Amino acid sequence: MDRIEAMSALLEVIKAGSFSAAARRLGIPPTSLTRKVSDLEAHLGARLLKRTTRSLGLTDAGRAFVAAARRIVEDVEEAERIVAGEYAEPRGELVLTAPTMFGRLHVLPIVAEFLAEHPKIDVRLILTDALVHLIDEGVDLAVRLGELADSGLVARRVGTMRTVVCGSPACLAAHGTPLTPRDVAALPTIAVGDIANQRHVWRFGARPHDAVDVPIVPRMSVTSNEAAAAAAALGVGLTRQRLYQVADSLASGALRLCLAGFEPRPDPVHVLQTSRQHLPLKARKFTEFAIPRLQGRLAALDAGA
């Protein structure tokens, strides 16, 4: 058994999400691909994949093995590029993930610039508000907003993101501008959530001992932050959003900030990767390119509010 070939086959199955899809991409029969992975599991004496009729996932042993296998295969490919004289020009598919709206507004433009400079790199950008498991999904880099769980991933902090309360000039003129967090409870508000009868609480204060939790009874509830910002601009009520979600409306004057002195502590923004020592060349090039630009965008957002 060629172990590098078997590792590559396993990684392709994880990336494609099924044996049949991976076999089509590789141009080999599904039975051949299944046999390569089965032989690898037999060699290791451990089951790597959890197979059901509807899904394919990694076992705990498989998750650990895939992380190591990905580094090994990438090291071999990089060594081949060095010998072939191609090391100076990174190539291949780069897989990134970011929150949906933040990714569309601030990661996508950076990716477009990067692709223009690196014609032999392709990018798969996964925009989702769900947490994507980097190893299971074959993701090279992730942009995350908020405090991080202790995941063992390598995190590089690139800035912070404020959470702000804002309303339209018409709404503030009609109902008054809140001067303290508790004033919000008496004003019309817009909440984001998709659970009926959900209790909504807005937290204010940057330090734990100064924190104030204000229960609100929303005049309107919506299922997306974009809809909440649009409703606020139409005068429905106050909305509480991360700054990037309302930056354009604030800049145009459609919305105005309220209670800036009572904002909670800004959320950190990180770029995550699975390893510091074994980052592929294509991913290293992207982090070198993207991180300064992302830092600049975050700083400009804060300065413009």
For residue range 252-305, what is the model confidence (pLDDT) as tens digits?
A: 999 999 999 999 999 999 999 887 656 778 888 999 999 999 999 999 998 877
Q: Are residues 52 and 77 in the same domain?
A: yes
Q: What is the pLDDT of residues 140-184, one digit of tens each?
A: 899 999 988 766 778 999 999 999 999 999 999 999 999 999 999
With beta carbons less than 8 A apart as the criterion, state whether 25 and 17 touch.
Answer: no
pLDDT-derived band at 84, boundaries 50, 70, 90: low
Highest averaged pLDDT of the listed ranges 53-67, 74-88, 114-128, 206-220: 114-128
- Domain stop point among 72, 88, 104: 88
Report helix, strand or coil for 13.
Answer: helix
What are 54-60's contacts with CB under 8 Å, separation 24+? 56/13, 56/14, 56/17, 56/18, 56/19, 57/136, 58/14, 58/135, 58/136
Check which CATH number belongs to the domain holding 294 and give it. 3.40.190.10
Q: Does residue 78 have a pLDDT over 60?
A: yes
* Same domain (yes/no): 167, 251: yes
Q: How confident is the model at residue 92 (pLDDT cuts 50, 70, 90)?
A: confident
Tokens found for residue 124: 């798969």
Domain boundaries, position 75: 1-88
8-52: pLDDT as tens digits: 888 888 877 788 888 888 788 888 888 888 888 888 888 888 877
Q: Are 238 and 166 in contact (CB under 8 A)?
A: yes
Lowest mean pLDDT among 36-45, 65-74, 114-123, 225-234: 65-74
Listed in sequence order, the residues at least 6 apart from 183 whose beta carbon sits closer than 8 Å to its beta carbon are: 176
Q: Which of 51-55, 65-69, 70-74, 133-137 has the lowest mean pLDDT?
A: 51-55
Residue 267: per-residue pLDDT: 93
Report the alpha-carbon distance of residue 114 to residue 237 in Å, rounded. 40
Residue 66 sits in a domain of what CATH number? 1.10.10.10
Could you give the number of structural domains in the chain?
3
pTM confidence score:
0.73
Listed residues 35, 55, 88: the one ending a domain: 88
One domain for residues 182 and 197: yes
- 169 and 233 housed in the same domain: yes
Residues 276 and 226 reside in one and the same domain: no
pLDDT digits (tens, 9 = 90+) for 208-254: 777 899 999 899 999 899 999 999 999 999 999 999 999 999 999 99
Tens-digit pLDDT profile for residues 174-203: 999 999 999 999 999 999 986 665 778 999
**Same domain as 208, residue 149:** no
- Residue 291, phi then psi, degrees to nearest 5: -60, -45
- Burial (Cβ within 10 Å: 0-12, 13-18, ≥19) of residue 276: exposed
Check whether residue 243 and residue 123 sit in a common domain. Answer: no
Q: Report the distance separating Cα 188 and Cα 235, nearest Å.
A: 10
